[in-house]
Chains A and B, each alone.
Chain A
Amino acid sequence: MDKNFQEEELTQIIKFTPPLHKQRHQFVKDLVEKFKPKKVADLGCADCSLLRMLKFCSYIEVLAGLDICASVMKEKMHTLSPLPVDYLQPSERTLTITLHHGSVAHKDPCMLGFDLVTCIELIEHLEESELKKFPEVVFGFMAPKIVVISTPNSDFNPLLPGVMLYRHPDHKFEWNQAQFQSWALETARCYDYSVEFTGVGYPPTGMEKVGFCTQIGVFVRKYPQTDESVQPEKPNEAVYKTVFKIVYPSLKDEKYLQNAVISEVIFTAQIIKHRFMSKQEEHGDDPERKFKFQPSTDCFSDYLGKLVVDKNMEPFVRGNEVYIPLATIFSFPKVSRLCGTFEKLCKLIAGKVTLSSDGSAVMFNIEHENEEN
Chain B
Amino acid sequence: KTIGSKVSSGLQDMSLRDRGGRRRDFHDLGVNTRQAMVHVQESKTGISGKMIKLTTNHFRLTSRPQWALYQYHVAYSPEMEARRLRSALLFQHEDRIGKTHAFDGSILFLPKKLENKVTELFSRTRNGEDVKITVTLTNELPPTSPTCLQFYNIIFRRLLKMLNLQQIGRNYYNPSDPVSIPNHRLMVWLGFTSSILQYEESIMLCADVSHKVLRRETVLDTMHSLYSQVGEERFRDACAKELIGLIVLTKYNNRTYRIDDIDWDNNPKGTFRKSDGSEISFVEYYKKQYNIEISDWMQPVLISQMKQKRGNIQGSVALIPELCSLTGLTDKMRSDFNMMKDLAIHTRLPPEQRQREIGRLLTYIQKDDNVQKELQNWGLSFDYKSVSFTGRVVQGEKIFQSGNMFDYNPQFADWTKETRGVPLIRAVPVDSWLLVYSRRNYDVANTLLQSLLKVTPSMGIRMNRPNMIEVDDRTEAYLKVLQQRVTPDTNIVVCILSSSRKDKYDAIKKYLCTDCPIPSQCVLARTLSKPQTIMTVATKIALQMNCKMGGELWSVEIPLKQVMIVGIDCYHDTVSGRQSIAGFVASLNQTVTRWFSRCVVQTRGQELVDGIKACLQTALKHWSKWNKCLPSRIFVYRDGVGDGQLNTLVNYEVPQFLDCLKSFGTDYSPRLTVIVVKKRVGARFFAEVGGGLKNPPPGTVVDTVVTRPEWYDFFIVSQTVKNGCVAPTHYNVIYDTSQLKPDHVQRLTYKLCHMYYNWSGIIRVPAPCQYAHKLAFLVGQSIHREPNLMLSDRLYYL
Contacts and interface: CB of A to CB of B under 8 A. Distances in A.
A291 B224 contact: yes
A17 interface: yes
A289 B231 contact: yes
Interface residues of A, number: 47
A168 B126 contact: yes
Interface of A: 17-18, 56-58, 71, 78-79, 81-85, 87-89, 160-164, 167-169, 259, 262-263, 265-267, 270-271, 289, 291-294, 296, 298-301, 369-373
Given A89-B216, A294-B224, A370-B526, A83 B128 contact: no
B42 interface: no
Q: What are the 7 tightest A-B residue pairs by CB atom distance, in nearest-first order? A: A293-B298, A162-B128, A263-B182, A266-B182, A163-B128, A56-B291, A56-B290
A87 B178 contact: yes
25 contacts: A17-B276, A18-B276, A56-B290, A57-B291, A58-B291, A83-B166, A83-B253, A84-B173, A84-B214, A85-B325, A88-B187, A88-B216, A88-B249, A163-B128, A164-B128, A169-B124, A263-B185, A270-B183, A289-B227, A289-B231, A293-B298, A293-B300, A294-B296, A372-B526, A372-B527
B251 interface: yes
A84 B325 contact: yes
A53 to B, nearest CB: 9
B276 A300 contact: no
A293 B299 contact: yes
Contacts of B312: none
Contacts of B182: 259, 262-263, 265-267
Nearest to A267: B185
Interface residues of B, number: 53
A76 to B, nearest CB: 10
Contacts of B231: 289
B781 interface: no
Given A259-B180, A262-B180, A291 B175 contact: no
Given A85-B249, A88-B214, A372 B161 contact: no
Interface of B: 92, 99, 124, 126-129, 161, 164, 166, 168, 173, 175, 178, 180, 182-183, 185, 187, 189, 214-216, 218, 224-225, 227-228, 231-232, 235, 249-254, 267, 276, 289-292, 296, 298-300, 325, 337-338, 524, 526-527
Contacts of B252: 56, 83
Contacts of A160: 127-128
A298 B338 CA distance: 28
Contacts of A18: 276
Contacts of B296: 293-294, 296
Contact of A78 (B164, B175, B187, B250): B164
Given A84-B168, A289-B228, A300-B225, 11 more contacts: A56-B292, A83-B252, A83-B254, A84-B173, A168-B124, A262-B182, A263-B185, A291-B224, A292-B232, A293-B298, A371-B338
Contact of B524 (A271, A298, A372): A372
A371 B232 contact: no
B299 A89 contact: no
B298 to A, nearest CB: 4
Nearest to A91: B251
A87 B128 contact: no
A160 B231 CA distance: 63
A82 B173 CA distance: 13
Nearest to A369: B338
Nearest to A60: B291
A82 B252 CA distance: 10
B249 A83 contact: yes
B650 to A, nearest CB: 38
Contacts of B189: 84
A100 to B, nearest CB: 16
Nearest to A244: B164
B249 A300 contact: no
A85 B166 CA distance: 11
A373 B337 contact: yes
Contacts of A292: 227, 232, 235, 298
A370 B228 CA distance: 21
B371 to A, nearest CB: 12
A299 B229 CA distance: 12
Contacts of B99: 71
Contacts of B325: 84-85, 88-89
A18 B275 CA distance: 12
A71 B100 CA distance: 11
A313 B267 CA distance: 37
A235 B231 CA distance: 68
A270 B336 CA distance: 15
Nearest to A270: B183
Contacts of B232: 289, 292
Contact of A84 (B180, B218, B254, B526): B254
Contacts of B225: 271, 300
Given A58-B291, A71-B99, A299-B228, A81 B527 contact: no
Nearest to B180: A259
Given A88-B216, A262-B180, A293-B298, A163 B127 contact: yes
Nearest to B228: A301
Contacts of A294: 224, 296, 298-299
Nearest to B530: A371
Contact of B164 (A57, A81, A167, A267): A81
A293 B276 CA distance: 32
Contacts of B175: 82, 84, 87
A304 to B, nearest CB: 8
Contacts of B254: 79, 83-84
Nearest to B326: A88
Contact of A87 (B161, B187, B224, B289): B187
Contacts of B526: 370, 372
A270 B229 CA distance: 13
A161 to B, nearest CB: 7
B208 to A, nearest CB: 20
A85 B298 contact: no
B251 A85 contact: yes
A84 B249 CA distance: 8
Contacts of B267: 293
A300 B124 CA distance: 62
B608 to A, nearest CB: 32
B184 to A, nearest CB: 8
> Which of A58, A88, A160, A167 has the largest number of chain B CB atoms within 10 A?
A88
A214 to B, nearest CB: 12
Nearest to B220: A294
A68 to B, nearest CB: 15
A17 B300 CA distance: 32
A292 B300 CA distance: 11
A168 B331 CA distance: 57
A157 B218 CA distance: 50
B219 to A, nearest CB: 12
B228 A88 contact: no
B556 to A, nearest CB: 26
A206 B268 CA distance: 42
A85 B232 CA distance: 30
A161 B224 CA distance: 57
Nearest to B127: A162
B128 A167 contact: yes
Contacts of B253: 83
Given A56-B290, A294-B296, A84 B228 contact: no
Contacts of B187: 87-88
A273 to B, nearest CB: 11
B183 A266 contact: yes
Nearest to A161: B127
A298 B289 CA distance: 27
B239 to A, nearest CB: 11
A222 B224 CA distance: 52
> Which of A85, A163, A164 has the largest number of chain B CB atoms within 10 A?
A85
Contacts of B185: 263, 267
A263 B216 CA distance: 9
A45 to B, nearest CB: 16
